[in-house]
Each structure stands twice: as C-alpha cells, then as structure tokens.
Amino acid sequence: MNPSEIESIQNSQYKRLNIDRIEYGTAGFRARSEVLEHVFYRMGLLAVLRSKLKNANIGLMITASHNPESDNGIKLVDPHGEMLEISWEGIATDLANINDEGLISLLWQIINDNGIEMSMPVTIIIGRDTRKSSPLLLNAAISGIKALSGNVKDFGIITTPQLHYLVATTNTNADKSFSSLESYYKKLGNGFKRIRGETQYSNKYKANLYVDAANGVGANALKDIQKYIDSVLTINVFNDGNGELNYNCGADFVKTRSKLPLNSSNKPYVRLASIDGDADRLVYFYVDDQNKFHLMDGDRIATLAAVYLKELLEESNLSLKLGIVQTAYANGASTNYILNVLKIPVACVPTGVKHLHAKATEYDIGIYFEANGHGTVLFKDTAIKLIQESLTNTQLSTSEKTAISKIMDLVDMINQTVGDAISDILLVETILRTKDWSIVEWEQSYTDLPNKLLKVNVKDRNVVTVTDANRRCVTPKGLQEKINETIARYEKGRAFVRSSGTEDVIRVYVECESPSDVDKFALEVANLVYNFANGIGPRPESL
C-alpha cells in the first residue's frame, strides 16, 4: 500500500460500528442493513487484495437472498465464478471485525502472508439485488475498492447467478473485455430454442408457466429472457416487484411453509414456480382438485435432470460418467430413486453451495441440487471437448448425433458457475416438453417421505458440532446417541441436527414412513437438542 492509500483508509468515513462479531457465513455476510457499511467498505478493500493475488477480476455481490428486505449482505466471487475459497472466509471475518486502529496492520498482514503484488491494476465486478439499502452500501464497497486504487465495473441490479457468470466469462475472454448481460441471455436462450428441435408435444405439456419472482431482481431477468426465447415458452411473472421483497412469497417461503405464495393462482394442476430474492433458487408446485399443495423441490429438479441426461448419454453412446450430489436434507425417497431406479451414483456433502459444487466437479457430468432449490449441472472441460469432437464424427448414427447435439445445447443453456433459477427453469421446461409431461407425471416418479424441519433457539449455537456431511453430531456429548435411540423407534426414520450458517438457531430435520408420526418425531429430536444444548425461549412443545 502506498502512503496515499494508507491515508485514504485511515481517513475513511466508514468507521467500525460497535456491533457483535459478524461472520462470513455459508454465503457471505448477512445482517440488518444499517450495521453493514463498514463491512462493505472492508470487503471492497479485500476484493482488491484478492484480485491482485489472483491476477483476475473478482466479483462482489450485494444481496441477502431470501432474507427480509431489511437485511442485506455481501459475498466475494472468485475468478471462475465460484464462491470465495474457504481459506479466505476467515480472513474476511477477521477484516470485518478488526477495530479501526488495527485495520492497516491487518491489511499488511494479509498482503505479506499471501505475497500479494500491490502494483498490479485490478477491476472488481459488482452486482446488487433490488434492496433499498443497496445503493448506500454499494458506495461503501466502491469507496473501499478505490481506497486501494482498484477499478470498478458496476453491472447495477442483476441476479446473483448473472454476477457469477459475468465474473467467470470476463476472466476467460481472450481480450479481457467485459462480458455483457446480452451474451448471457443469448447463450441460455439460444440453447433453449435449439434443443427444442422438431419435438412435438401435444397433450400434457403446456408451454405456459407462472413464476413468483419474490418481488426481487429475478422479475427483470425473467422478463428479459422472454425476449430471447420467443414464444417457445410464455413466462407469466407475478410478485414482480410491486409488493415487499420475499414477504410471503419466493422459493424459500414456498419450500419451508409448503404453501402457495401471495397472489398465486390456485387453479388445479396449473404449473407454477417460485424463485428467491436474488434468483438462485427455484421450486415448482401446483394444487390438485382437492386444493392440496404439491411441491417439486430441488431433489425433484435433480432427478428430472438425471433422467434426461441418462437417456441422452445412452442414446449418444458417449462414455461419460454421470453423478449426483445432494445434502442430508435431500428426501430419502429421492436418494433411493436415484440409486435403485436410475442407478446413478450419489454423493452427500455438507450444506452450502460451495460443498456441492466442489464435489460435482469430480464427475464428467455432475448434477447438484439442495432440496431448497439451489443447483445446477456441471460439465467437465474434458467432457465438453469429447462432446464437441463427437459432433464432427462422421461415423455416428443420426440418433447418436441428435443426442450429442442436444447435450451440447444443454451445455449452453445451463449456467455452470452456480445454481441459476432462470437457467434451471429452461432446463426443467425443456425436459417436461420433451417428455410431454405435465407436472403431475413429473411428480409420479417417486413419493416423498413425510418430513419436518424445525428450529431450536439455544444460548450458543456453536455448541452443536457435526461431522459426516452434517449427518452426525459430535458435540454436545451424548446427543447423537439419544437421537439414534429416537430414530430407531420410527419406520424409515432419519434425523439430523446442525447449527444454521445463516441464522442464530439449531436446525432439526426428520423424516419417516408414517405421516402421522412425523410431528411427534420432530418434537422429540428438537427437545433433545433443547436439553443438551442449553435451549432458550419456549421449549419446542408444539409445532
């Protein structure tokens, strides 16, 4: 850092507020927006250091996803569009919490520990969701970037997956020019139109989708993608910004409450979808003629994609290994279906996109989804090369060629940097149309086991530590044994507990065969957590 940079940081208006320690959690910092200005300033500083270290553009996304409008958050995006490397999460946390007097020396420490070459010019790519607090916080981040002489490329209001895409593609553009949103829409939209080919659908599939955009940034993106997909699919957007962000709507609301969002049609069998506030999660749903709600969550999207890719791989005769990555929250029935019916390998990893993404890169084609609707499909570079080469192979049969070119269209249509609700909608719609399935046929592939998710308030959520992809509790001592005894009393019982990475609570998940047992099962496990982990507030006695 040169003297004028140091002076600028020392004189900055963004002084640390006297707040509790704040952590770079599962998906960056998230808190009430009014306490975050100094954190954003410091993340501006950190993004410049990371960018210099990597000699590449780094992204900053300003969003608190499905949290209430009053919250905000920030996360760093690494050069290939992936989440910030885990070893830097601690650095980000330290930098956010250090008092103002220690700031310069901590910056020096980061620079020296990592051997960062400070003279290199860098640019930080920024995006933000629609929150009202974002412009002010954006200024704080820009101020941090400029204090260390970084350049800013501000894409304004965009979805989180768009920011990931822009960072990744900008860093791979041969001339280092900035990618555009137009290139994103064209890539997705063209893949979607091409793959359609001459497929005729007539009966069950209707090319008409209703999407709840959580009153967030996804509403713009859905309206924009419509321009690139012509009338192949009509997307009717509701909760498109006239109401409050994420309030009684959006993918998280629909998944956790298992009910229709505000302003939703309740016409039987109409295919509906919800995305979240920054458009990286997607769930589908419908109501039947008894007005019963049916949810098609991330597990369903993963299995649908797996069915399709498996068929295409068989038709193409390409020898590529397909695998699926889930978390412990995946419904046991979905895992069973993948292993025993589809006969595709499944891996289970801890919650959080970075874990799923990393594991999925191990397969030639890796499908990953969290039950909450975040996920995508990854194609290894070597797999893409093989697909491209096969397209020019004159020995192949017509059906092999058709299948291979469809896989290539999928590569275009799918945002591989991170789960992307817009791209995932195109994927789901492609498959339903190809199979001429209504949402009911989609649901018929397997029956979910009844399940329940509860929260328990405790004095210190860090007392609960877990291992084995969140499935086994290490501390408090004795808790896991008691949970095991409880599980043993329920047919097909499965339960696990873990501390949330985004809220100050312990989460409890249970599933079992009998719908009438699941509430009791959940309460028993929640009470064990309450007792072993110094529960506070009301005891979990009723749901």
User: Active-site residue numbers?
Assistant: 65
69, 129, 276, 429: residue in contact with Zn ion (rule CB under 5 A): 276
69 makes contact with Zn ion (CB under 5 A)? no
| 276 interacts with, out of ligand 16G, Zn ion, none, CB within 5 to 8 A per kind | Zn ion
Three-state DSSP at 73 gives strand
Tell the smallest beta-carbon distance from residue 506 to ligand 16G (Å): 10
Give the tokens for residue 213. Answer: 């955009």
Count of alpha carbons within 13 angstroms of residue 482, beta-carbon side:
16
451 makes contact with ligand 16G (CB under 6 A)? no
65, 179, 417, 451: residue in contact with Zn ion (rule CB under 5 A): 65
Give the tokens for residue 1. Answer: 């850092």
507 makes contact with ligand 16G (CB under 6 A)? yes
CB distance 170 to 176 below 8 Å: yes
500, 517, 520, 539: residue in contact with ligand 16G (rule CB under 6 A): 500
278, 364, 370, 420: residue in contact with ligand 16G (rule CB under 6 A): 370
Residue of 206, 228, 250 whose CA lies nearest to 440: 206
CA distances from 47 to 51, 83, 117, 327 (A): 6, 13, 14, 30
Three-state DSSP at 530 gives helix
501 makes contact with ligand 16G (CB under 6 A)? yes
Q: How far apart are CA 162 and CA 221, in angstroms?
A: 9
Q: How far apart are CA 18 and CA 409, in angstroms?
A: 52
Q: How far apart are CA 198 and CA 398, in angstroms?
A: 14
Q: How far apart are CA 467 and CA 533, in angstroms?
A: 17
Q: Is 55 left (phi over 0), alpha (psi -120 to 50) or beta?
A: left
Tell the smallest beta-carbon distance from residue 301 to Zn ion (Å): 15
506 makes contact with ligand 16G (CB under 6 A)? no
280 makes contact with Zn ion (CB under 5 A)? yes
278 makes contact with Zn ion (CB under 5 A)? yes
Q: Is 458 left (phi over 0), alpha (psi -120 to 50) or beta?
A: beta
Q: Please say whether the dihedral angle defined by the alpha carbons of residues 12, 17, 23 and 25, taken in this order, is positive or negative.
A: negative
Give buried/exposed letters for 512-537 (b at 16+ CB in 10 A, else e): beeeebbeebbbbbbbbbbebbebee
Q: How many residues bind ligand 16G (CB under 6 A)?
A: 14
Q: How far apart are CA 152 and CA 469, in angstroms?
A: 38
| 372 interacts with, out of Zn ion, ligand 16G, none, CB within 5 to 8 A per kind | ligand 16G
- Give me the residue whose beta carbon is nearest to Zn ion: 65
Site string for Zn ion, 351-390 (x = CB under 5 A): ----------------------------------------
Tell the smallest beta-carbon distance from residue 250 to Zn ion (Å): 9
Site string for ligand 16G, 320-359 (x = CB under 6 A): -------------------------------xxx------
Q: How far apart are CA 264 and CA 273, in angstroms?
A: 10
469 makes contact with ligand 16G (CB under 6 A)? no
Chain centroid, CA 279 distance in Å: 9
Nearest CB to ligand 16G, comparing residues 334 and 372: 372
Residue bearing tokens 């070893």: 87
CB distance 128 to 63 below 8 Å: yes
Tell the smallest beta-carbon distance from residue 508 to ligand 16G (Å): 11
Site string for Zn ion, 396-415 (x = CB under 5 A): --------------------
Report the site for ligand 16G in 62-121 (rule: CB under 6 A): 65
Torsion angles phi and psi, residue 378, rounded to 5: -110, 135
Q: How far apart are CA 451 and CA 94, in angstroms?
A: 38
H helices of 204-245, where? 218-228
Q: How far apart are CA 399 and CA 389, in angstroms?
A: 16
Nearest CB to ligand 16G, comparing residues 12 and 372: 372
Report the site for ligand 16G in 186-205 (rule: CB under 6 A): none
Site string for ligand 16G, 128-157 (x = CB under 6 A): ------------------------------
Site string for ligand 16G, 49-68 (x = CB under 6 A): ----------------x---
| 278 interacts with, out of Zn ion, ligand 16G, none, CB within 5 to 8 A per kind | Zn ion
Sheet of strand 71-77, all strands in order from the earlier edge strand to the far edge: 29-32, 71-77, 58-62, 123-128, 151-157
374 makes contact with ligand 16G (CB under 6 A)? yes
CB distance 276 to 297 below 8 Å: no
Tell the smallest beta-carbon distance from residue 6 to Zn ion (Å): 37
Of 216-224, 254-262, 455-463, 500-508, which segment contacts ligand 16G by CB under 6 A? 500-508
Site string for ligand 16G, 15-44 (x = CB under 6 A): -----------xx-----------------
Nearest CB to ligand 16G, comparing residues 220 and 327: 327
502 makes contact with ligand 16G (CB under 6 A)? yes
Which residues lie near Zn ion (CB under 5 A)? 65, 276, 278, 280
Which residues lie near ligand 16G (CB under 6 A)? 26-27, 65, 351-353, 370, 372, 374, 500-503, 507
